[in-house]
A and B are shown apart, each in its own frame.
Chain A
Amino acid sequence: MEGFDRRYVFLVILLVVLIPLIIPLGLPIRVSKEVLGAYDAIDRVPEGSTVYFACDYDPATLPEVHPMSYATLNHLFSRDIKVIGACLWPGGPPLLEEVLTRVGEEKFGKKYGVDFVNLGYKEGREVVMVSLGKSIPGTFPADFYGTPVSELPIMDGVRNFSDVAMIVNISAGYPGTKEWVQQVQSRFHVTIAAGCTAVSAPEYYPYYQSGQLVGLLGGLAGAAEYEKLVGVAGTATRGMDAQSLGHLAIIVFIIVGNVLYFRSVKAGGKRR
């Protein structure tokens, strides 16, 4: 066990992740009630309303959470909902710009400044969240390109969170979902649906159970479930086969590790 070459583990993981990406297995995806909650909440937003899209992640977690942005924006734009996007992570604005352009402009023919806007990034974390609750144009006087928000038709009549139907937050850590609930939901009573990395999802379950979050997308699985609901098989759906086999491989490693451990204990080794 001690002399076991870890490179074999790495090789197995590489293969079980790579093979299903090349040859998909097409395993069926089950939709959880947390993801359905987010879908239903967006589905209840009246057409023509405005939604605040908080894109709080950067390229490190792009493969895991970016598909959530694609899936939720597909849903929002398909229902003619206007999207005001902004970031509290410095690495976020180009990703937000990319997904808004790909989905909003190229797929649904939406117009920048009229149907969607990228307000860019603002440092200040929780302070910015609270400040947005009081004045969105005051917090972001200009968009990602430096255009004053007063010149953008989408911002007409939008003062603060009382003028948006809900907040969709996709986050990968701090500042993210927890801060949106603590600083914004509890203070301004706005409906929030969130998507986050799988590792941080358990932390937000209490907020979902208490109703402070109307829906929660956890990791790539959450994104794949949302893709299934909106009928768009994106990178998350393709990645679920790889994730399934990856989890199976890790479970096999746990079992093998324990078998080797108990054998060594039986042979007179120390229990450590």
Chain B
Amino acid sequence: MRREVPLIITAIFGSFMVIEYFVPHPSVTGFGEMLQQWAIIVVAFAYVLGVANIVRINGEKISKRSKDWPYAFPLLAGLGFMLTVGVVFGVGNGTLFSDFYLYAYAPMSGTMFSLLAFFIASAAFRAFRIRTLEAGLLAVAAVIVMLGRVPVGTEIWDKLPVISDWIMNAPQMAAKRAILIGAALGAISTGLKVILGIERNYLGGD
């Protein structure tokens, strides 16, 4: 019963949501809306679990002096601090929460993301080695698109953006569309397998 009940619930509600897409009758859409509200509420609880998990895992890390345990301190302190100032002083513009968010968290987060530029430049040495014809085509296309997308490309040769646009709108788009269609068919078949109880990995366990 531990497995059968979730499978039956999934089959009933999954089928209903498919039907709801095609049947615009108020009795059907009304119930569909209620199910969506339930889903939003259930998903929100994941955040409570998430916070509890972070506290538990990092608390254990500190108590057991596991690898990199000193990093758990600022993490927990940051979590506690932002939570406290948000609840006590509010989260609107000009509040302490907003100031720490915009002038501490945002620049640090942006800095982490911007490090990618350095790694991409470093990886360019190896990733675009022309070992085969295909690798050569990839490298040439990458160079044209990289130049065509920025103002300096037009300064070098005014046809570069035109060629870049063609690469993006013809070969790139054809490949991307094929991937999208394949992924969509895969998603449909996986959805059907879940509704029919064939795909059960989401239940976890053995």
A contact set with B: CB distance below 8 Å: 1, 4, 6, 9-10, 12-14, 17, 27-30, 32, 58-63, 90-91, 93-95, 97-98, 101, 122-125, 127-128, 130-131, 134-135, 138-139, 144-145, 187, 198, 202-203, 205-206, 209, 218-219, 221, 240-241, 243-251, 253-254, 256-258, 261, 271-272
Contact = CB atoms under 8 A, between A and B. Distances in A.
A258 B112 contact: no
Q: Which of B21, B37, B124, B150 has the most CB of A within 10 A?
A: B150
Nearest to B20: A130
B124 A253 contact: yes
Contact of B37 (A4, A60, A138, A219): A138
A90 B43 CA distance: 13
Given A247-B146, A250-B121, A253-B121, A122 B40 contact: yes
Given A63-B110, A131-B33, A131-B40, A9 B125 contact: yes
A91 B150 CA distance: 29
A102 B139 CA distance: 42
Contacts of B142: 254
Contacts, number: 170
Interface residues of B, number: 61
Contacts of A131: 33, 36-37, 40
A123 B47 contact: yes
Interface of B: 21, 29, 33, 36-37, 39-40, 43-44, 46-47, 90-93, 97-98, 101-102, 105-110, 112-114, 117-118, 120-122, 124-126, 128-131, 139, 142-143, 146-147, 149-155, 161, 165, 168-169, 172-173, 176-177, 180
A27 B151 contact: yes
Contact of A127 (B21, B39, B122, B176): B39
A261 B33 contact: no
Contact of A97 (B93, B125, B139): B93
Nearest to A145: B92
Contacts of B110: 59-63
Nearest to B30: A134
A135 B29 CA distance: 12
Contacts of A202: 168, 172, 176
B14 to A, nearest CB: 13
A33 to B, nearest CB: 8
A6 B108 CA distance: 23
A256 B113 CA distance: 26
B146 A250 contact: yes
A94 B98 contact: yes
Given A144-B91, A144-B92, A240-B150, A10 B40 contact: no
B154 A30 contact: yes
A127 B40 contact: yes
Given A60-B113, A272-B131, 5 more contacts: A98-B102, A123-B43, A209-B173, A244-B150, A248-B147
A178 to B, nearest CB: 9
A202 B141 CA distance: 13
Contact of B161 (A30, A58, A63): A30
A6 B109 CA distance: 23
20 contacts: A27-B150, A90-B47, A94-B102, A95-B106, A97-B92, A98-B93, A123-B46, A123-B47, A124-B36, A124-B43, A130-B36, A144-B91, A187-B21, A206-B176, A206-B180, A245-B152, A247-B147, A248-B147, A258-B128, A261-B129
A257 B130 CA distance: 10
A75 B17 CA distance: 38
B168 to A, nearest CB: 6
Contacts of B125: 1, 4, 9, 253-254, 256-257
Contact of A246 (B29, B101, B117): B117
Contacts of A123: 40, 43-44, 46-47
A251 B29 contact: no
A138 B30 CA distance: 12
Nearest to A205: B173
